[in-house]
Amino acid sequence: MRPNKIIEKWNAGQAAVNIFLSTPGSFTAEVMASLGWDGVTIDMQHGVNDYSDLLPMLQGITRYDPAPMVRVPWNDPAIIMKSLDAGAYGIICPMINTAAECESFVGACRYAPRGYRSTGPIRAVFYAGTDYHEHADKTILTFAMIETQEAVDNLNGICSVPGLDAVYIGPSDLSVSIGGSPGGDQRAPDVMNRIEQTLEACHRHGIKAGIHAMSSDYANDMLEKGFDLVTLSSDFRHMLASANAMLASTKLTRG
């Protein structure tokens, strides 16, 4: 089975760098995948992507070697299994608040007897190889999103779920859940306390920890803290920032 680049980085003792794709289009996905990321994640939760966009985007990504992943819109076995059958090598699942919710999520990603995923990897075998079924459970990554106070309160149970590979912190929702303001790169002490608590719980239970970042400064700070994966924003945010910067630096005479 084709290897998972994020797992390779972790096995080498290194952190992984990921990006979200918020906008549909196979060419954008192909271009972003060519840049050297360890993971490229198609965002079906807050991005403007649907399943009809997912398949050609995965095809664009898989010309290159980053792990193709999907953030699903919700903890729904149907879309989780369809994303995996399309060739996703990792699933990031939002709003996991309890161990029971985590068990349902992980079970949808694993074949029996470890889980209840239905057999039918229609495209995955073309991308991954004919031995897909034999190795899928060890190659596909499961990320449970921790983004509420309830989830923080239930960290030990969530992190103990068999088959969970990692958690993924959503700092904006985590801030909102405790009465703070939305926005990325959260540094408020009460939010950072929960972020560090989550990181510690993950490593104590032997799983990895990922976090969303809007800037390289924040990503570097999180890597210094010991995070195993950071996401450097999204294609949409990079496009917006670059276009704004170029426009602002271009000297134009306006009539």
To 5 degrees, how large is the angle CA 68–CA 17–CA 15? Answer: 115
135 is catalytic: no
CA separation for the pair 215, 184 (Å, rounded): 9
Spot the catalytic one: 46, 133, 205, 238.
Answer: 46
| SS3 of 59-99 | HHHCCCCCEEEEECCCCCHHHHHHHHHCCCCEEEECCCCCH
CA separation for the pair 28, 33 (Å, rounded): 8
Sign for the CA dihedral angle at 90, 169, 79, 53 comes to: negative
- Catalytic residue ranges: 46
